[in-house]
Amino acid sequence: MREHLKDLPPAALNLLLSVGDHQQLHADDACIYGVFADLVYRLEGLTDELGLLHFVATEKLLLTGRRDGLHSIEAVRQSLRSGQSPKSHTALLESILMQVTSGVEEKSEALSDELDIIEERLIVDLTDDIPKRLAKARRLTVRLHRLLSTQRSVIARFEQNVWRTTGKAHDLKTSHVSQRLDWLDHEMVALRDRAHLLQEEVSLRMTDQTNRNLQLLTIVTTVFLPAGVISSIFGMNVGGLPLEHDRSGFIVTMLLLVGASGLVFWILKRLGMLRR
């Protein structure tokens, strides 16, 4: 192992041991090295978190480094256990890159199902959990779209610069990975736009509900406004108030309050404001 590490270019070794978070893919006369992002895999399954895979591939060796368990590594490990054997270390790296896209595809299918559920529930009624679930789904579509776009540009730059190398380690076939990324990115853009439209509909529903609540509050305030005025008048601590010494003053006052509120309610009903 140490002999192979000595043969690695300084740039490849530094990138393998670095903590940078920028995705990149480089070809050297002796090896292929870079950093790729992937979905984090835990015991409970695929998560929404992103992790980084640092790797160096030579003709005889593939070195990887990561802080978290990644979906691509777990999928390749299971395929190796099932008996599948890649022809070379660059072929093994191709399998890892393809499994990166497989994880994103699996997550895109889950996002599509989640948006279907949200859309069906939104047609029936706007529940309290829909805005949070929709915001979470849209945030994930934005993150995955950014991930796929970066990987597409990284592979495009790699394909443009790989002809400058002369070693055999650059036999990495990226055309099928690039095609898969293009297709997935289009799907993710469609999911992102769909989530954006659903979020706009949720905003309109919430605005409409707020307007209805404000209208109801305005109607209630308007109906009881005359009653409040009459109560304020009879509540003034001054002399000469009508019905002050009349035993039936309370009943007469209550009749005035109810009558004034009823009159305002009838006027609003005739104007059609209660049907809006």
Q: Please, are residues 58 and 31 in contact by the beta-carbon 8 Å criterion?
A: yes
Tell me what the mean pLDDT of segment 197-222 comes to: 85
Token digits of residue 115: 């948006």
145-202 pLDDT, tens digit per residue, is: 999 999 999 888 888 876 665 555 556 778 888 899 999 999 999 999 999 999 898 8
Residue that terminates a domain, selected from 170, 185, 209: 209
* 7 and 119 co-located in one domain: yes
Q: Report how far residue 200's alpha carbon sits from residue 141's, in angstroms, rounded to the nearest whole number.
A: 16
Q: Report how far residue 68's alpha carbon sits from residue 237's, in angstroms, rounded to the nearest whole number.
A: 76
Q: Please, are residues 176 and 95 in contact by the beta-carbon 8 Å criterion?
A: no
Token digits of residue 118: 């949200």
| SS3 assignment, position 22 | coil
> Residue 161's pLDDT is what?
75
Amino acid, res. 275: R
Q: pTM for the full model?
A: 0.74
Query: Is 214 inside any structural domain?
Result: no
* 19 and 145 co-located in one domain: yes
Query: Is 41 inside any structural domain?
Result: yes
Token digits of residue 71: 């979906």
* 136 and 157 co-located in one domain: yes
* 205 and 226 co-located in one domain: no
> Residue 189's pLDDT is what?
94
Q: Report how far residue 188's alpha carbon sits from residue 148's, in angstroms, rounded to the nearest whole number.
A: 9
Sheet holding 45-57, edge to edge: 24-27, 32-42, 45-57, 62-65
Total of domains in the chain: 2
pLDDT over 90 (residue 204): no
Q: Tell me the C-alpha to C-alpha distance, in Å, between residue 13 and each of 31, 42, 159, 162, 177.
A: 11, 28, 22, 19, 25
* 227 and 251 co-located in one domain: yes
> Residue 57's pLDDT is what?
84
Q: Report how far residue 96's alpha carbon sits from residue 63's, in angstroms, rounded to the nearest whole number.
A: 12
Query: Is 111 inside any structural domain?
Result: yes
Q: Report how far residue 11's alpha carbon sits from residue 20's, in angstroms, rounded to the nearest whole number.
A: 13
* 257 and 129 co-located in one domain: no
Domain that holds residue 244: 222-275
Residue that terminates a domain, selected from 159, 187, 209: 209
35: phi then psi, degrees, rounded to nearest 5: -135, 130
Query: Is 168 inside any structural domain?
Result: yes
88-121 pLDDT, tens digit per residue, is: 777 888 888 899 999 999 999 999 999 999 998 8
Q: Which residues pair with 57 in a beta bridge?
A: 32, 62
